[in-house]
A and B are shown apart, each in its own frame.
Chain A
Amino acid sequence: GQQLNQSPQSMFIQEGEDVSMNCTSSSIFNTWLWYKQDPGEGPVLLIALYKAGELTSNGRLTAQFGITRKDSFLNISASIPSDVGIYFCAGRAGGTSYGKLTFGQGTILTVHP
């Protein structure tokens, strides 16, 4: 089945630093999404990407839909303590997959003040 490889698995950074994480797939996705999950809560949608090459920002977050449609990237600029959490990429293949999302394993982000 489809699998998403997300890296890095974890990051320890200082407040104010920029963060980059990425997700790669063995197959094509029509849509890429990025979610953040805080402990004990459900994932929260950060950014959705719909077209290959698309670059979308949400505040300090910027995500890109890779040209090959097999990868996506998330950047966080000027990190702050509340950025701590687990970040997940997710992809949707489309067609008969309907709304099925395939998730990466997550990147655990720790921000030191």
Chain B
Amino acid sequence: DSGVTQTPKHLITATGQRVTLRCSPRSGDLSVYWYQQSLDQGLQFLIQYYNGEERAKGNILERFSAQQFPDLHSELNLSSLELGDSALYFCASSVASQGVEQYFGPGTRLTVT
């Protein structure tokens, strides 16, 4: 158990819908990262927040957005969902802004039908 929690574990929704994935980092960690894992693209970095502020951005679609709240939990919002958005979404956390040692949560499996 990494100490990072993610909810829900599984999510099934229809195209065009909007969903919110939630992540709570390890106690004491200030950075939260979101990654997408799909069969064809592998593990791809989406976005990083540190203490409530966006720090780094990867190839995150404009339909996706994230935020980190004062209690340090983070949410990833996915809208206008397409079939190709079906994937595993992982949250990771680290202590520092340039946190190398990132600890991953169990993931949310999103299926878009």
**B-contacting residues of A (Cβ < 8 Å)?**
1, 31, 33, 35, 40-45, 48, 50, 88, 90, 92, 94, 96-106
Nearest Cβ on chain B to A79's Cβ, whole angstroms: 23
Tell whether B25 is near chain A: CB-to-CB under 8 Å. no
Indicate if the CB atoms of B2 and A99 lie closer than 8 Å: no
A-B Cβ contacts below 8 A, count: 68
Which of A43, A45, A50, A92 is close to B90, meaning CB atoms less than 8 Å apart?
A: A43
Indicate if the CB atoms of B107 and A99 lie closer than 8 Å: no
Tell whether B17 is near chain A: CB-to-CB under 8 Å. no
- Sample 10 A-B pairs with CB under 8 A, ordered by A number: A31-B100, A45-B102, A48-B100, A88-B43, A90-B43, A92-B100, A97-B56, A99-B99, A99-B102, A101-B102
**A-contacting residues of B (Cβ < 8 Å)?**
2, 4, 31, 33, 42-45, 48, 50, 55-56, 58-59, 90, 92, 94, 96-107
Residue of B nearest to A6 (CB): B42
Indicate if the CB atoms of A94 and B98 lie closer than 8 Å: yes
Which of B45, B59, B94, B104 is close to A44, meaning CB atoms less than 8 Å apart?
A: B104
Which of A33, A41, A43, A104 is close to B100, meaning CB atoms less than 8 Å apart?
A: A33
Q: Which 10 A-B pairs have the closest CB atoms?
A: A42-B104, A103-B43, A98-B56, A98-B55, A99-B99, A100-B56, A31-B100, A43-B104, A100-B45, A105-B42
Taking A99-B31, A99-B33, A99-B48 as contacts, is the C-beta distance between A42 and B98 under 8 angstroms?
A: no
Taking A41-B106, A44-B2 as contacts, is the C-beta distance between A33 and B101 under 8 angstroms?
A: yes
Indicate if the CB atoms of A106 and B104 lie closer than 8 Å: no
Indicate if the CB atoms of A98 and B97 lie closer than 8 Å: yes
